[in-house]
Amino acid sequence: MQPLAEPVSRLIDAFAQLPGIGPKTASRLAYFLLRSDESIALNLAKALEELKANTLFCSICFNIADRDPCPVCDDAQRNHALICVVEEPLDVQAIERTGEYAGVYHVLHGAISPVEGVGPDELKIAELLQRIQAGGSAAPPDVDPAHAADWTLLHPSIQEILLATNPNLEGEATAMYISRLVKPLGIRVTRLARGLPMGGDLEYADEVTLGRALTGRSEM
155 DSSP assignment: S
Smallest gap from Cβ 67 to another protein, in A, equals 35
For residue 119, state whether it binds another protein (rule: CB under 8 A). Answer: yes
Contact positions with another protein (CB under 8 A) in 25-64: none
Contact positions with another protein (CB under 8 A) in 174-193: 176-177, 180-181
Is residue 215 classed exposed, middle or buried when 0-12, 13-18 and 19+ CB atoms within 10 A define those classes? exposed
Q: Give the residue among 94, 93, 84 at the shortest CA–CA distance from 61.
A: 84
168 DSSP assignment: S
For residue 95, state whether it binds another protein (rule: CB under 8 A). Answer: no
For residue 199, state whether it binds another protein (rule: CB under 8 A). Answer: no
Binding segment (CB under 8 A) for another protein, from list 13-21, 53-61, 70-78, 172-180: 172-180
For residue 94, state whether it binds another protein (rule: CB under 8 A). Answer: no
CB 110 within 8 A of CB 118: yes
Binding segment (CB under 8 A) for another protein, from list 138-146, 154-162, 169-177, 197-205: 169-177
Give the separation between CA 43 and CA 145, rounded to whole angstroms: 43
Please pick, from the candidates 100, 142, 207, 219, the single residue that binds another protein as defined by CB under 8 A: 207
CA angle 194, 125, 51 (to 5 degrees): 90
Q: What is the CA radius of gyration of the chain?
A: 23
Please pick, from the candidates 10, 208, 214, 216, the single residue that binds another protein as defined by CB under 8 A: 208
Q: In terms of residues, how long is the chain?
A: 220
For residue 201, state whether it binds another protein (rule: CB under 8 A). Answer: no
For residue 18, state whether it binds another protein (rule: CB under 8 A). Answer: no
For residue 169, state whether it binds another protein (rule: CB under 8 A). Answer: yes
Within 10 Å of residue 127's Cβ, how many Cβ atoms? 16
141 DSSP assignment: T
Binding residues vs another protein (CB under 8 A):
112-115, 117, 119-120, 169-170, 172-173, 176-177, 180-181, 207-208
